[in-house]
Amino acid sequence: MNHKTRENLNRTEEIEAVYKRFSRTGLWRLRIRRYIRSVTWFLAVFIASVSKRGFDFFVSLVLLLLFSPVIVLGWLVTGRSLARTPRLGKWCVTFDELSFDIHKGLGGKITKLLHIRRLPVLINILRGDMSFVGPLPASPGDFSLQEKAVRKRYNVRPGIISLWWIRKRANIDYGTELDVDMEYVQKHSLVSDLGICLRAIPAILYGEGVPTAPDKLKILGISIDNYTMNEAIDTIINWLHEPSGRQICFVNADCANIAYKNSHYLKVLNYSNLCFADGVGLKLAGKLLGQDIAQNVNGTDMFPLLCKKLDQTNLKLFLLGARQEVVEGVADWVEKNYPNLKLAGHHHGYFTPEEQPAVIQKIKDSGAHLLLVAFGAPRQDLWINEHLDETNAKVAIGVGGLFDFYSGRIPRAPVWMREIGMEWLYRLLQEPGRLWKRYLIGNGIFLSRVIWEKFFPKNRD
């Protein structure tokens, strides 16, 4: 077959295909296909929107039936009335949130003990005023409705469990409630709601924090500064403007275990200008000792927040520690995400004692205000204690494995794992060979030491 004949044949086939497509049966086939596509799309949207409401309706109905004797009893005891708190619901429609109006006497004590004061809220959920999961219910006037972002908060029904509530209990409530609510509004689905319900279980076990936590507390002889993340960052930024150098440490369960045996490290921690409580181990220790930790103030969460602040100033940052490619990776991350931040320089953490003077000189010459040292504990904190004055830095912080995260060498645990206090498990699964002893045995030893010290306090002064 020559070239021309093949071309003619192809054209005939094309013409036949067009005829077939636009023939009576072809057009019907096209219509049916479009119809099926529209129905599938409509069903998907419908299922997505009603599934959440359906879940709320059926679960609240079952729970109401289950707890109906308690609700009826409470209603009778309170003189057949329930407390009503005005709230703003979906699309800013007002409704009354129901609860038991029992605060005093035996009834008050029982409702408080059993945590059932808010039980009638199930009626609100059944009625569709509220959901199980959503931003916490706000009263009219709590948020200014002038802002568009705030109004978006009301695109969904308020809930009895919110992401903010979970993060508050997990001590990782950085930022504002509105930011976290917006995160929920933008990403929520029935599956994510079920995940939030599951994460609420450890949040309930963690219990509510004491609103006025002490400024300072002692855990296994370590003097901890009980700051929130914002307080810590503000203090660091202020200190960067002052002439003298200051040392800051993060203390997690592993650090406390090391300090328990290493008296020099313990002294360095206690001589440092600030010592922050890092991780769920310290949170649990605080709970056991009856002194709530204000927030999980750790280097990894602090770093981007600090960079954001430094980005608006002329203050310089120096990165010291980890392998060459890792510290370079962090420098790249900083340059990419905070282009105005003045990076004074960086150096890896595997230098010899002979190379040390040159490294210190490099930091000094760079004019760095803030020095982050990532050698792991306790080496980094002992090093800062010894060499801070020589570097001329105004604040030096030991930051452990932080560089490994921001260089991308090790991925950080997803937020949901941090919300349930399981970041350590994620790290353990990444490097089981190196970390099993630190986490599987170390965490238990740390908590047993805390419990022991609670009942048999040691006089360390």
* Sites of contact with ligand UDP (CB under 6 A): 321-323, 349-350, 374-377, 400-401, 403-404
Structure token pair of residue 308:
């954001």
Work out how close the CB of 235 gets to ligand UDP at its nearest, in angstroms, rounded to a whole number. 22
As a whole number of angstroms, the longest Cα–Cα distance in the chain is 103
C-beta closer to ligand UDP: residue 64 or 428 = 428
Structure token pair of residue 59:
């679960």
CB of 380 within 8 A of CB of 354? Answer: no
Work out how close the CB of 94 gets to ligand UDP at its nearest, in angstroms, rounded to a whole number. 49
Work out how close the CB of 351 gets to ligand UDP at its nearest, in angstroms, rounded to a whole number. 8
Q: How many whole angstroms separate alpha carbon 94 and alpha carbon 87?
A: 5
CB of 255 within 8 A of CB of 175? Answer: no
CB of 302 within 8 A of CB of 362? Answer: no
C-beta closer to ligand UDP: residue 154 or 405 = 405
C-beta closer to ligand UDP: residue 294 or 374 = 374
Query: What letter would DSSP give residue 138?
Result: B
Q: Which is nearest to 391 in space by CA: 360, 412, 422?
A: 360
C-beta closer to ligand UDP: residue 188 or 346 = 346
Instruction: Please return the burial class of 107, using the count of CB atoms within 10 Å of its CB with bins 0-12, 13-18 and 19+.
Output: middle
DSSP labels for 263-306? HHHHHHHHHSSEEEE-SHHHHHHHHHTT---S----HHHHHHHH
DSSP labels for 109-142? HHHHHHT-TTTTHHHHHHHTS-EEESSPPB-TTS
Work out how close the CB of 185 gets to ligand UDP at its nearest, in angstroms, rounded to a whole number. 34
Work out how close the CB of 359 gets to ligand UDP at its nearest, in angstroms, rounded to a whole number. 11
Work out how close the CB of 376 gets to ligand UDP at its nearest, in angstroms, rounded to a whole number. 3
Instruction: Please return the burial class of 10, using the count of CB atoms within 10 Å of its CB with bins 0-12, 13-18 and 19+.
Output: exposed
C-beta closer to ligand UDP: residue 239 or 375 = 375
Place of tokens 């830095």: 393
C-beta closer to ligand UDP: residue 188 or 348 = 348
C-beta closer to ligand UDP: residue 193 or 278 = 278
Work out how close the CB of 433 gets to ligand UDP at its nearest, in angstroms, rounded to a whole number. 13
Work out how close the CB of 272 gets to ligand UDP at its nearest, in angstroms, rounded to a whole number. 15
C-beta closer to ligand UDP: residue 286 or 349 = 349
